[in-house]
Amino acid sequence: MKVYADYAATTNVAPDVVAEITKVLSDHFGNASSIHNVGRDGRRILDQARSIIAKTLNATPREIIFTSGATESNNLAIKGVAYQNQHMGKHLITTSIEHHSVLHVFEQLEKEGFDVTYLPVDAKGFISIDTLKQALRDDTLLVSIMFGNNEVGTVQPIDEIAELLKDHQALFHTDGVQTIGHMPIDIKALNVDLFTVTAHKFYGPKGVGLLYVKDKTPIQFQQLGGAQETKRRAGTENIAYIAGMAKALELVTENIEASNVHLANLKQTFINALQSNEVPFEMNGDMNITLPHITNLYFPFSDVEKMLTILDMNGVYVSSGSACTAGSIEPSHVLTAMFGEHPRTKQSIRFSFSHQNTEEEVVYIAEQIKKIYEMNRKE
């Protein structure tokens, strides 16, 4: 059996999305900036995609800026706000569990003289609203807190944070990448200023994403050149992939409920199967306030490198937040934020499922883990 269970890293591209991309690539190749008929045809496809996306997320079309993915969107949101507003202060707030495309940008800004507060999280991976309240200063420019965590699935209280920031000068950015397709997103109701999305986490292609920028948000645009994206992000738009992203977004949004029911069932089946196999494990994150597709488990009998290798050989494709560099395992920064220095940060695996996974598959994974456990006991 071959089981891909690494959907938080990337998904396959849905067949209808492939069809959409192929159609646009072959039939609508015009440059959206050309004013002749062929260019206008490309522009029409681009405009259509933008309105579908805006409508699905409840934003206005001009609030959507197409980018090359979440890394670029996060860079644009954070640097754009920091540079544009630095006359009002130098203080920025984020968390210690952000994706590296957020964390490394803040580290760079610190080197440039900005003052950054990294909010801690508790053992379940949640920030505290009180700690955020205490961290806020009159000169805070930006609060960037991810919506759903990509390693442990924890969902932060975005509405409470937005409420807290309502009367503060600080702008609010959230990396919403992992929530798309799992939570209905109404950006207006969320009350955020900036929201990051990338297509390849919801059955769209890699290398395309967007940044929602609320109307009138003061931001310095980073990519200079032509007048694309109303002068906010230069470079000829990848119309085919943008159309594919719109299709993918429509599809996952229609299926949120059915898919979440299936995913919750898979998570429970997986946990039951591990328990009935008598495999020792503990969950990282929260069983309830969580993204349904992510299950991160601590196995106190094997380091991840060994486990991932054996699972791979047995056709199970999963990952961990830890990076393997030159044979040694770097502990996950997310698990370190939750547990401090502990073997747990190097003995945990992230399983991320999709509506395409089956109960048989998760039971198979549990059986493979059971074998590894038995093997380790005999050693």
Ligand X SMILES: *Cc1c(COP(=O)(O)O)cnc(C)c1O
Strands 115-119 and 91-95, by their bridges, are parallel
Q: How far apart are CA 217 and CA 232, in angstroms?
A: 12
Q: Which stretch binds ligand X (CB under 6 A): 17-25, 40-48, 197-205, 359-367?
A: 197-205
- The first and second tokens of residue 117, run together, are 């507060």
Of 298, 301, 300, give the one whose Cα is nearest residue 322: 298
* 11 vs 217, beta carbon nearer ligand X: 11
Q: At what angle do helices 100-111 and 70-85 cross, to 10 degrees?
A: 30
Is position 178 an interface residue for ligand X (rule: CB under 6 A)?
A: yes
Helix (H) or strand (E) holding 349: strand 348-352
- Within 51-110, which residues bind ligand X (CB under 6 A)? 69-71, 99, 101
Q: How far is CA 181 from the centre of its chain?
A: 11
When binding is defined by CB under 6 A, the residue of 77, 132, 162, 177 that contacts ligand X is 177
Q: Which of helix, strand or coil describes residue 153?
A: coil
Least spacing, CB of residue 280 vs ligand X, in Å: 28
Q: Which stretch binds ligand X (CB under 6 A): 25-33, 103-111, 194-202, 326-334?
A: 194-202
Is position 320 an interface residue for ligand X (rule: CB under 6 A)?
A: no
- Among 88, 234, 289, 324, the one annotated catalytic: 324
- The verdict on whether 85 is a catalytic residue reads no
* Alpha carbons within 13 A on the beta-carbon side of 95: 33
Q: Which of helix, strand or coil describes residue 150?
A: coil
Least spacing, CB of residue 37 vs ligand X, in Å: 34
Least spacing, CB of residue 177 vs ligand X, in Å: 4
Least spacing, CB of residue 69 vs ligand X, in Å: 3
Least spacing, CB of residue 353 vs ligand X, in Å: 15
Using CB under 6 A as the binding criterion, the count of chain residues that bind ligand X stands at: 14
Of 207, 202, 156, give the one whose Cα is nearest residue 178: 202
* 301 vs 317, beta carbon nearer ligand X: 317
- The first and second tokens of residue 277, run together, are 């196999």
Q: Give the binding site for ligand X (CB under 6 A).
A: 69-71, 99, 101, 146, 150, 175, 177-178, 198, 200-201, 209
Give the residue numbers marked as catalytic.
324
